[in-house]
Amino acid sequence: MTKMNIKSLLAFLIFIGFSSIGNAQDGVVTVEQDKDIEKLLQFKKDAKTVDLYKIQVYQGNHSGAQKAEADFMKTYSEWPVSMEYETPNYKIWVGNFRSRLEADKALLKIKKNYNNAFIFKPKRDKS
């Protein structure tokens, strides 16, 4: 191909490209979602604003925390258990109690095996 043909071809392609931009189609997107999604989003938002209570059953070194966590889960399966680290200690926290009364009832059961257990409100993340 000659330089003239290449230039002509290039100019033609550019012209076609620009002319098709003006003819771009507008689209409409329709999102269909389950009605329960809105309920779940509202519940999640509400759950973040609720002050939850937890019970601490152990504070100490890592191996002791692992043992306390395993022992607790064998004895009590009705509450979630988590291991937290706050320098310099590991802590075993139990539950997500929505009221102090609910936490008090659980503490009565837990104190039978964990004398030093106590109720507290964890600090909320500012995220």
pLDDT single digits (tens) 94-103: 999 999 999 9
Q: What total of structural domains would you count in the chain?
A: 1
What's the pLDDT score for residue 21? 59
CATH (domain of 105): 3.30.70.1070
Q: Write down the residue that tokens 């550019």 correspond to.
A: 14
Q: What is the DSSP-derived secondary structure letter of residue 126?
A: -
Q: What are phi and psi of 67, to 5 degrees?
A: -65, -45
Say what the pTM is: 0.60
Q: In which domain, by residue range, is 88 found?
A: 54-120
Q: How far is CA 9 from the centre of its chain?
A: 56
Residue 26 belongs to some domain of the structure: no
Beta bridge mates, 60: 90
* Ranges in the chain, pLDDT < 70: 1, 3-4, 17-25, 46-50, 124-127
Residue 81 belongs to some domain of the structure: yes
Q: Are 90 and 64 in contact (CB under 8 A)?
A: yes
